[in-house]
A = this chain, B = another copy of it.
Amino acid sequence: MTENRQSRREAVSERKRELILDAARQVFAEEGLDGASLRAIAVRAGYTPAALYFHFDSKEAMYAEVLQTSLESLGAEVGSAVSHASSPHQKLKAAAMSFFQFYAANPRDLDLGFYLFRGGMKPAGLGQDRDLRLNAALEAALHPIAEAAVELGASRQQGNLLMVDCFAHAAGLLLLLHTGRIRMFGASAPELMETYVDSRVEQLGQGLRHADN
């Protein structure tokens, strides 16, 4: 009974946290980390700015929490896509494509992911454990790429390099597409996605076959 009462209270508090996080998710995605104001988040959640500090340590901590769930849903989508593929080569293709497609379909999550590319999120102001959890979530999402590469005959290290390289390539491409800056060069999103999939993923397989001799 005592436990029930306690867990009820905690459940209510948890519900309020989630409510605030929902508001934060929107504002962060729309305005970015620096652009989003704590007051805007508070208003959208029906709170006063200072009230957020009862539930969260800082603005960065809120951002980290939002980003964490974003990376986890990315990982879920990649894992699902890979599980539906049969051959290792198709797994590799599916992983690379689903990663790309996730952000193409969920541009808000791309906005959130921006911050992973910056030095801004320092473990000092964030808590090193939270930083490690973020990295773990990202690595989990990317892992199927390395796994598929290993199945195709690459070494563990080669697989990791491919994974990172592939991630960087797709991420850079997505960032360019998303900011719209790339239209100046006369390239469209579908064209670039095709370029990415065809001239990159296909060649990854070829490169691997060359590498393992």
Chain A positions near chain B (C-beta within 8 angstroms): 32, 34-35, 114, 116-120, 135, 139, 142, 157, 160-165, 167-173, 175-176, 178-182, 184-187, 191-192, 195-196, 199-200, 203-204, 206-207
A207 to B196, CA, bound (A): 12
Query: Are B186 and A157 in contact, with the CB atoms below 8 A?
Result: yes
Query: Are A117 and B117 in contact, with the CB atoms below 8 A?
Result: yes
- Among A32, A172, A173, A204, the one with the most B-chain Cβ atoms within 10 Å of its Cβ is A172
With A203-B207, A207-B203: A169-B173 Cβ-Cβ less than 8 Å: yes
Q: Chain B residues with Cβ under 8 A from A176's Cβ?
A: 117, 164, 167-168, 171
Extra contacts besides A164-B192, A169-B172, A171-B172 (16): CB < 8 Å: A32-B118, A32-B119, A114-B118, A116-B179, A117-B176, A117-B179, A118-B179, A139-B184, A161-B191, A165-B173, A165-B196, A165-B200, A169-B169, A169-B173, A172-B173, A172-B175
Query: Are B139 and A179 in contact, with the CB atoms below 8 A?
Result: no
